Amino acid sequence: MKNIYIITLFVVLLASCSGEKKQIKSIEQAIASNDLNKIRAMRTEIVAQQQAIAAQLKQLDDKISTLDTSKKIPLITTFKAEESVFNHFLELQGNVTTQKNIVIFPEFSGLLSSVYVKTGQQVKHGQLLAKIDDGGLSQQLAQLKIQSELARTTFERQERLWNDKIGSEIQYLQAKSSYEAQVNAVTQTEKQLSKTLVTAPFSGTIDDVITEQGSVVGAGSTQLMRIINLDDMYIETDVPERYISYVTKNKNVEVEFPILGKSIATKIRQAGNFINPANRTFKVEVAVPNKDKSIKPNLTAKLKINDYTNQKALLIPQSIISENANGEQYIYVVKNKNANEEGVAERVIIETGQTQGDVIEVLKGLESGAEIIQEGARSVKNGQTVKVINI
């Protein structure tokens, strides 16, 4: 039987080739004759043959399409809609700061006679950092104390006499007034003299010694040194007013420091109550743990504030959502799937909520467990038969 098929095919090919050669020879003869009527007749014959062949090809294609139904079914991929925890994050930028980062200025004018610390040194609250020459104020204080002691003795004696009804009241009052004036003078001088001693306002690190020993300094105008405490660090940033109900105290925050290549988890420690009318924002402070002291003031930080959480969210990729002429969003799900993984694409109108990255929350129109079309979602039609090829 196989040999018969081969012989038959060979005969057909020979006949076809023979007929084609005869037709080519006829065409050549018609052209060589220079007879317009013969040439036109030959062309009409060839056109008729071409139309007949085209009609036969169409019949064959129609039959192939009828028999081979798999070519009509679009191939798609799907995923199941499942409930999951959805955390939405508001992304902002801010700078690290601290309230314990100050430049120390002198309260007394004079010669900076001594500097007791150096750059990078750890100091404690109240520790002596530098001393300014008092210009003879200590000697003046010593004289005032002597005078105050004399005034006290005089007053005490005059007071005893007055209690014994000896002497006049005016003498008693004068002695008392003189003593009190001397005490006030000593107190004021001691306060002035204390200003010649520069002490640490809080515990921290001497970041920079700005003015060297031996320089003349002016009260409130000459920068002596900078002191920083890196323990109580925080980030301050502006939040748009529309988030005022969601961004509140103790909300979780993810902080990323691009320069350091590190991230930390923290919370909002304070949310402002004042809306800035210029830019319609309010301020929040985010605590920054800094045990290793690697985070520095003015460091740029990226904040991701958890402003919304849904414990049972249905999430889908944004790329599979389409929109109709009425502005409604829709996706396609597969219904009535058979054993051959073939089913029907059904359009579902949905309502969406928050987005995070490339996913979006579906609020209405979708049920948990629905099989959603992913690859091919934008090419299928409602009611069309589709084939699932999930791997």
Distance of CA 62 to the CA centre of its chain: 58
Q: CA 161, CA 236: separation in Å to the nearest integer? A: 68
Confidence at residue 5, expressed as pLDDT on a 0 to 100 scale: 36
Phi/psi of residue 381, each to 5°?
-120, 160
CA–CA distance from 92 to each of 235, 303, 306 (Å)?
Answer: 11, 5, 11
Confidence at residue 25, expressed as pLDDT on a 0 to 100 scale: 64
CATH architecture of 72-85+311-388: Beta Barrel (2.40)
Q: Which of 285, 282, 313 is CA-nearest to residue 301?
A: 285
Distance of CA 289 to the CA centre of its chain: 18
Confidence at residue 73, expressed as pLDDT on a 0 to 100 scale: 82
Q: CA 238, CA 249: separation in Å to the nearest integer? A: 14
Residues of the chain with pLDDT under 70: 1-25, 65-71, 391
Residue ranges per structural domain of the chain: 2-67, 72-85+311-388, 93-99+229-309, 101-227
The CATH class of 101-227 is mainly beta
Confidence at residue 302, expressed as pLDDT on a 0 to 100 scale: 94
Confidence at residue 8, expressed as pLDDT on a 0 to 100 scale: 37
Confidence at residue 266, expressed as pLDDT on a 0 to 100 scale: 93
Confidence at residue 21, expressed as pLDDT on a 0 to 100 scale: 59
Range 93-99+229-309 classified under CATH 2.40.30.170: yes
